[in-house]
Amino acid sequence: MEVLVNLSIFNFSSNFSKSFIFNIIVVFIVLFTTYTGYIICCKPEITKVQNQWQKNFVVSQRFIYRYLNIPKIILGSSLAARIDQDVLPADVYNLGFSGGSVLTGLELLVRSGAAPKIILIETNVIFNDKDEKMLDRLFAPLIWKIKKTIPSLQAEYQPLNIILSFLYKTGKSTKSEQIKRKIDQNTYTRMLALYKEKYSTIPEPGMIKKNISDLQRLVSIMIQRGTKVVFFEMPIASQLSDSKLSRFVRKTLKCNFNAPNYTFIKSQDLAQYRTTDGIHLTYQSMLLYANELIQNIMFFQ
Look at residue 126 and give its three-state secondary structure: coil
Instruction: Render the burial of 29-62: b for 16+ CB within 10 Å, e for the rest.
Output: eeeeeeebeebeeeeeebebbeeebebbbbbbbb
pLDDT at residue 5, as a whole number: 43
Per the rule left: phi > 0, alpha: psi between -120 and 50, beta: everything else, 275 is beta
Are 183 and 274 within 8 A, CB to CB?
Answer: yes
- The DSSP letter of residue 292 is H
* pTM for this entry: 0.87
Q: How confident is the model at residue 15 (pLDDT cuts 50, 70, 90)?
A: low
pLDDT winner (highest mean) among 131-140, 143-152, 178-187, 252-261: 131-140
pLDDT at residue 31, as a whole number: 83
DSSP string, 67-104: -TT-SEEEEESHHHHTS-GGGS-TTEEEEE-TT--HHH
Q: Which helix (H) or strand (E) holds 109?
A: helix 102-112
Distances (CA, A) of 120 to 75, 77, 94, 233: 6, 12, 9, 10
Q: Which amino acid is residue 123, in one-letter code?
A: T
- Choose the weakest-confidence range: 37-46, 127-136, 189-198: 37-46
Q: How confident is the model at residue 3 (pLDDT cuts 50, 70, 90)?
A: very low
Distance CA 293, CA 298 (A): 9
The ranges assigned to domains in the chain are: 52-143+173-300
First to last CA, the chain: 89
Name residue 119's beta-bridge partners: 73, 229
pLDDT at residue 70, as a whole number: 97
Length of the chain (residues): 301
CATH classification (class only), 52-143+173-300: alpha beta
Q: Kindly state the average pLDDT of the residues 179-183.
A: 74
Q: Kindly state the average pLDDT of the residues 240-262.
A: 92
- The DSSP letter of residue 153 is G
Look at residue 192 and give its three-state secondary structure: helix
Q: Are strands 118-122 and 262-266 parallel, antiparallel or unpaired?
A: unpaired
Using a 10 angstrom Cβ sphere, with 0-12 exposed, 13-18 middle and 19 or more buried, the burial of residue 204 is exposed
